[in-house]
């Protein structure tokens, strides 16, 4: 039932009078969220009489915004178009506003009926409460929940002719990444648009779940018939049963906090029942009890072969072997950095891996690709130091037929084209010839590659990971590496500690032994063999360790590895790992904390959220590293 417009206006006017007098506003007059938004607007120094001068956005700015958020927009734009059609297109403007408050996509703002509202909903305009006062998108971002703001509920007088409804959009890790807003001129009463906007948001969130990949997708709901509806919760697991991500519906059902979905939780931590029951039921929902006593119905979506905590369904093909070079095994320094890298990569930021030769940079790159938004696409690796200088340009960018002597008749796509829709890994980028760096920078900026001998560019969309063992800042100072290219590839920097400083050495050895043993039981290491491994300095890092264990498994007898089965260089122990300093790892952690604080201008709460740790933990780290 619609509220009488006179009654609505009267209630809001009464609430505003009480607010201006400094008295409490009862919830029957005005929603608490609107009152809190008024308070925040006043705290930002705004007055109701203020006029908003919306920032002017250039075409280049619009293009850059589209490039920066293109993955999110790939999921958002189709659902916005469907919603726009369902509303009849008339009198509505739909907008997607990213977490910082900036409009990144809009539909309907060219409609003459919406010309008064259009300036506020152009791409690049900032709708934060600190700029525009109380409004639907700004309130939804600040409160983290759906918001409807109509007429005089807006803080600024000039905005009171409008009505808007905004719903937060969360990624598979539970982080708020944007809001979807529907706005029009105010008709004197509350608008009933919130439900269709919320349904569109739910469809977008389910689209985003597909980007994190995973070998097992589970639909959950309290009612079995709704496990095949838009109302269902979605959980994605990897082949070993670790949770990769969950949509907000599933998070609410299972009470999952923000951030869970980076491999720390497994199926058994969420449900008391067996995964075998879900698999055996084919596409039928199965009732499973959660550890909190709640019962949910679970249904398997799709039937890709997988290995799940050692269980392989009898009717499925043999499970893939677990990656013998998995990038982490419990080292807290590495896992913390991994979580940040995974999030940055999911938001299409380039990742720069730094570390000594043999520390597993390509393994890490492949892991990021498998857990990233383009996991279904190709992974293309290029070692910039191993390709002759005369060939690297054609290798990276491709060439047209006849471009040079010896060129193939039909031409050849370069690595960028081959990586389209997937991930390009540029290893040893610090060794790339200087003259090629300018062209690489242009391709990264324009997302378009032009083959040698061609006159037209080819659009490419790929995730980027770079790696180097060199000090790039020093290379910049020496004039051997472009500073602007360093800024472009350094979306998130991830230093990989050398093997001698990793805290998960024993777990890594056991894991590699399983991989080397194949289908047989892995051999057991004697105490002397363990001492020899722990005492070695490992200048070749993981690569050297893997070769040593390969030899040990081949020479072992009766299921035991003794020190005689190890390479000769390991049979004289040096300094034990436990006595070596962990300075590099601590420096890496310190730089990570320092960078997070810098990004958020010293805001400890925001930095802690960015790092995925508690504020108390961050304060402790700041004291530890002298950053307080």
DSSP notation for 264-290: S-BHHHHBSS-HHHHHHTTTS-EEEEB
Model confidence at 122: pLDDT above 50: yes
| Region class of 133: left (phi > 0), else alpha (psi between -120 and 50), else beta | left
Give helix then strand counts, H and E, for the chain: 23, 19
Radius of gyration in angstroms for the set of CA atoms belonging to the chain, rounded to a whole number = 28
Query: Do 111 and 258 belong to one domain?
Result: no
Structure tokens belonging to residue 11: 């209630």
Instruction: Give the model's pLDDT for residue 323.
Output: 40
Q: Is residue 321 part of a domain?
A: no
427-447, pLDDT tens digit by residue? 999 988 888 898 899 899 888
CB 336 within 8 A of CB 611: yes
Residue 232 has pLDDT above 70, yes or no: yes
The answer on 477 and 408 residing in a single domain is yes
Question: Mind listing the pLDDT tens digit for each residue in 516-556?
Answer: 877 677 888 888 889 889 888 888 888 889 889 999 888 98
Residues 398 and 443 in one domain: yes
Residue 485 banded pLDDT, cuts 50, 70, 90: very high
Shared-domain flag, residues 364 and 473: yes
Q: Please, which pLDDT band fits residue 585 given cuts at 50, 70 and 90?
A: low
Q: Is residue 402 part of a domain?
A: yes
**Measured between alpha carbons, how far is 104 from 198 in angstroms, rounded to an integer?**
19
Same domain, yes or no: 530 and 487: no
Q: Are residues 101 and 236 in the same domain?
A: no
**Same domain assignment for residues 432 and 506:** no
Which CATH number fits the domain that encloses residue 551? 1.10.8.60
On whether residue 598 sits in a domain, the answer given is yes
| Residue 488 placed within a domain | yes
Q: Are residues 170 and 285 in the same domain?
A: no
463 with 599, same domain? Answer: no
User: What's the pLDDT score for residue 324?
Assistant: 36
> Which domain does 594 fall in, by range?
583-624
Alpha-carbon distance 380 to 383, whole Å? 10
pLDDT in tens, 293-332: 788 999 888 654 444 444 433 333 333 333 433 455 556 6
Nearest to 121 by CA among 149, 92, 142: 92
545 vs 509: CA distance, rounded Å? 8
Structural domains of the chain, count: 5
pLDDT, position 347? 84
Own/partner contacts of 597-604, CB < 8 Å, gap of 24 or more, are 597/622, 597/627
Residues linked to residue 218 through DSSP beta bridges, in sequence order: 235, 300
Give 58-122 as a DSSP string.
-HHHHHHHHHHTHHHHHHHHHHHHHHHHHTTSTT-EEEEEETTSBEEEEESTT-GGGTTTGGGGS
Q: Report residue 408's pLDDT band, with 50, 70 and 90 as the boundaries.
A: low
Of 111-120, 152-161, 283-292, the one with minimum mean pLDDT is: 111-120
pLDDT digits (tens, 9 = 90+) for 185-222: 887 666 678 888 998 999 999 888 877 766 688 999 98
Cα separations in angstroms, 118 against 122, 155, 167, 181, 185 = 6, 19, 20, 13, 11
């Amino acid at each position: 039932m619609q509220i009488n417009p006179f009654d609505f206006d009267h209630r809001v006017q009464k609430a505003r009078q009480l607010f201006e007098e400094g008295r409490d506003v009862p919830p029957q007059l005005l929603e608490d969220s609107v009152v809190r938004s008024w308070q925040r607007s006043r705290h930002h120094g705004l007055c109701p009489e203020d006029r908003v001068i919306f920032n002017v956005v250039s075409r280049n700015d619009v293009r850059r915004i589209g490039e920066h958020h293109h993955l999110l927009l790939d999921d958002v734009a189709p659902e916005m178009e469907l919603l726009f059609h369902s509303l009849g297109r008339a009198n509505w403007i739909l907008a997607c506003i990213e977490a910082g408050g900036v409009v990144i996509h809009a539909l309907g703002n060219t409609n003459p009926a919406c010309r008064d509202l259009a300036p506020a909903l152009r791409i690049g305009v900032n709708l934060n409460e600190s700029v525009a006062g109380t409004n639907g998108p700004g309130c939804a971002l600040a409160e983290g929940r759906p918001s409807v703001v109509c007429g005089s509920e807006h803080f600024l007088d000039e905005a009171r002719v409008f009505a808007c409804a905004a719903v937060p959009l969360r990624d598979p890790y539970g982080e708020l990444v944007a809001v979807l807003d529907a706005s029009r001129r105010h008709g004197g009463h509350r608008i009933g648009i919130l439900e269709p906007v919320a349904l569109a948001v739910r469809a977008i969130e389910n689209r985003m779940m597909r980007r994190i990949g995973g070998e097992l997708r589970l639909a959950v709901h309290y009612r079995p018939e709704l496990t095949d509806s838009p109302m269902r919760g979605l959980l994605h697991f990897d082949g070993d049963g670790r949770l990769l991500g969950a949509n907000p519906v599933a998070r609410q059902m299972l009470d999952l906090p923000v951030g869970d979905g980076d491999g720390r939780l497994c199926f058994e931590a969420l449900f008391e029942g067996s995964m075998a029951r879900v698999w055996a039921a084919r596409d039928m929902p199965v009732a499973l009890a959660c550890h909190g006593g709640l019962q949910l119905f679970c249904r398997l979506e799709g039937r890709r072969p997988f290995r799940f905590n050692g269980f392989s369904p009898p009717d499925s093909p043999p499970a893939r072997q677990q990656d013998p070079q998995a990038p982490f095994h419990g080292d807290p320094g590495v896992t913390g950095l991994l979580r940040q890298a995974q999030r940055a990569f999911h938001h299409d930021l380039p990742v720069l891996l730094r570390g000594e030769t043999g520390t597993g940079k390509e393994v890490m790159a492949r892991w990021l690709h498998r857990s990233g938004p383009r996991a279904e696409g190709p992974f293309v690796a290029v070692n910039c130091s191993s390709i002759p200088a005369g060939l690297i340009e054609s290798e990276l960018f491709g060439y047209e037929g006849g471009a040079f002597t010896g060129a193939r008749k039909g031409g050849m796509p370069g690595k960028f084209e081959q990586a389209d829709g997937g991930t390009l890994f540029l290893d040893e980028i610090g060794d790339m010839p200087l003259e090629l760096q300018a062209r690489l920078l242009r391709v990264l900026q324009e997302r378009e590659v032009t083959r040698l001998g061609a006159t037209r560019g080819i659009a490419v969309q790929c995730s980027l990971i770079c790696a180097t063992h060199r000090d790039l800042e020093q290379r910049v100072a020496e004039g051997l590496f472009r500073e602007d290219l360093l800024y472009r590839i350094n979306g998130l920097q991830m230093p990989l500690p050398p093997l001698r400083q990793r805290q998960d050495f024993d777990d890594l050895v056991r894991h590699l032994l399983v991989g080397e043993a194949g289908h047989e039981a892995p051999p057991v290491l004697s105490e002397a063999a363990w001492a020899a491994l722990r005492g070695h300095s490992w200048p070749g890092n993981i690569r050297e360790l893997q070769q040593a264990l390969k030899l040990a498994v081949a020479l072992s007898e009766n299921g035991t590895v003794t020190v005689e089965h190890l390479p000769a260089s390991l049979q004289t122990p040096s300094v034990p790992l436990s006595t070596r300093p962990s300075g590099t790892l601590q420096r890496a952690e310190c730089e990570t904390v320092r960078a997070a604080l810098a990004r958020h201008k010293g805001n400890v709460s925001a930095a802690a959220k960015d790092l995925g740790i508690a504020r108390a933990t961050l304060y402790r780290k700041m004291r530890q590293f002298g950053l307080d």
